[in-house]
Structure 1
Amino acid sequence: MTGSILIVDDDPVQRRLLEAAVTRFGYTATVVDGGAAALDVLDGPSAREVSVVILDLVMPGLDGIGVLKAMRERDINVPTIVQTAQGGIETVVSAMRHGAFDFVVKPASPDRLQASIANALKVEAVEGEVKRTSRRRGGLLTFKDMVTHSPAMDRVIRLGQKAAASNIPILIEGESGVGKELVARAIQGSGDRRSKPFVTVNCGAIPDNLVESILFGHEKGSFTGATDKHTGKFVEAHSGTLFLDEIGDLPLDVQVKLLRAVQDGEVDPVGGRSTVRVDIRLISATHRNLLQQVKDGKFREDLFYRLNVYPIFVPPLRDRRDDIPYLVTHFMEKVAPADPRHRLQGISAAALAVLQAYDWPGNIRQLENAVFRASVLCEGDVLTTEDFPQIRAQVEGTVNLDANGVLPSASAPLDTEPRDEEALHGEGGLRGEGVLATEPDPPARLQPRFGTLRALDERGNVRALADVELEMIKLAIDHYNGQMSEVARRLGIGRSTLYRKLKEYGIDPETGRVDRLAS
Structure 2
Amino acid sequence: MTAHILVVDDDPVQRRLLKAAVESQGHVAHLAEDGEAGLEYFRLHRSEISVVLLDLMMPGLSGLDFLIAVGGQEVDVPVIVQTGQGGIDTVVQAMRAGAFDFVVKPVTPERIVAAVANALKVDQRDSKVRPARRSRSGAVQFSDIISASPAMTRVVDLSRRAAQSTIPVVLEGESGVGKEMVARAIQAASDRSSRPFVTVNCGAIPANMVESVLFGHEKGAFPGATERHIGKFIEADGGTLFLDEIGELPLDAQVKLLRAVQDGEIEVMGAARPQKVNVRLISATNKDLIAEVKAARFREDLYYRLNVFPITIPALRRRKEDVPFLARAFVERFSMEQRLPRPLTLTAGALALLTAFDWPGNIRQLENAIYRAIILAEGVELTENDFPQILAQIPGGLSQDRFWSGVSGLSDSLAEAHAAQRHTDRPELAFIDRLPAPRVDDRGAVADNVIVSVDDSGDVRRLAEIEEELIRFALKFYRGQMSQVARKLGIGRSTLYRKLKDYGIDPDDPQKNAA
TM-score tier (shorter): 0.5 to 0.7
Structural RMSD (CA): 3.2
For residue 395 of structure 1, what is the aligned residue in structure 2?
A: 394
For residue 380 of structure 2, what is the aligned residue in structure 1?
A: 381
Counterpart residue identity of residue 277, structure 1: K
Inter-CA distance 378–264: structure 2 relative to 1 (3 Å threshold):
same
Structure 1 stretches of 4+ moved >2 Å:
134-138, 340-345, 396-404, 444-450, 464-470
For residues 163-312 of structure 1, the aligned pairs below 5 Å read 163-312=162-311
For residues 30-179 of structure 1, the aligned pairs below 5 Å read 138-179=137-178
For residue 370 of structure 1, what is the aligned residue in structure 2?
A: 369
**Which one scores higher on RCO, CA 8 angstroms, separation ≥ 6?**
2
CA distance in 2, matches of 1:397, 1:328: 23
For residue 351 of structure 1, what is the aligned residue in structure 2?
A: 350
Kept in 2: contact 1:163–1:187 (CA 8 A): yes
Matched residue of 1:284: which SS? strand
Kept in 1: contact 2:170–2:307 (CA 8 A): yes
Cα shift at 1:343: 3.5
Kept in 1: contact 2:265–2:277 (CA 8 A): yes
TM-score between the two structures when normalised by the length of structure 1: 0.52
Counterpart residue identity of residue 449, structure 2: D
Matched residue of 2:170: which SS? strand
Inter-CA distance 165–135: structure 2 relative to 1 (3 Å threshold):
closer
Kept in 2: contact 1:399–1:445 (CA 8 A): no
For residue 467 of structure 1, what is the aligned residue in structure 2?
A: 449
CA deviations 1:362-381 (Å, max 9, x no partner) are 00000000001001111111
Matched residue of 1:395: which SS? coil
Cα shift at 1:148: 1.2
CA deviations 1:215-257 (Å, max 9, x no partner) are 0000111122212111100000000000000000000000000
Matched residue of 2:228: which SS? coil
CA distance in 2, matches of 1:192, 1:259: 24
Kept in 1: contact 2:146–2:325 (CA 8 A): yes
TM-score between the two structures when normalised by the length of structure 2: 0.52
Cα shift at 1:335: 1.1
For residue 494 of structure 1, what is the aligned residue in structure 2?
A: none
| Identity over aligned pairs, percent | 55
CA distance in 1, matches of 2:208, 2:241: 21
CA distance in 1, matches of 2:175, 2:447: 27
For residue 29 of structure 1, what is the aligned residue in structure 2?
A: none
Kept in 2: contact 1:350–1:402 (CA 8 A): no
For residue 322 of structure 1, what is the aligned residue in structure 2?
A: 321
**Gaps spanning 5+ residues in structure 2: where?**
1-132, 404-416, 419-427, 440-445, 453-515
Q: How many residues align?
A: 290
Q: After the TM superposition, which of the residue ranges 327-336 and 359-368 deviates more from structure 2?
A: 327-336
For residue 490 of structure 2, what is the aligned residue in structure 1?
A: none
CA distance in 2, matches of 1:135, 1:257: 38
CA distance in 2, matches of 1:327, 1:465: 38
CA distance in 2, matches of 1:176, 1:468: 36
Matched residue of 1:282: which SS? strand
Kept in 2: contact 1:351–1:401 (CA 8 A): no
**Gaps spanning 5+ residues in structure 1: where?**
1-133, 405-420, 423-440, 454-463, 471-519
Cα shift at 1:399: 4.0
CA distance in 1, matches of 2:153, 2:220: 50
Cα shift at 1:467: 3.1
Counterpart residue identity of residue 143, structure 1: F
Inter-CA distance 213–263: structure 2 relative to 1 (3 Å threshold):
same
Kept in 2: contact 1:170–1:310 (CA 8 A): yes
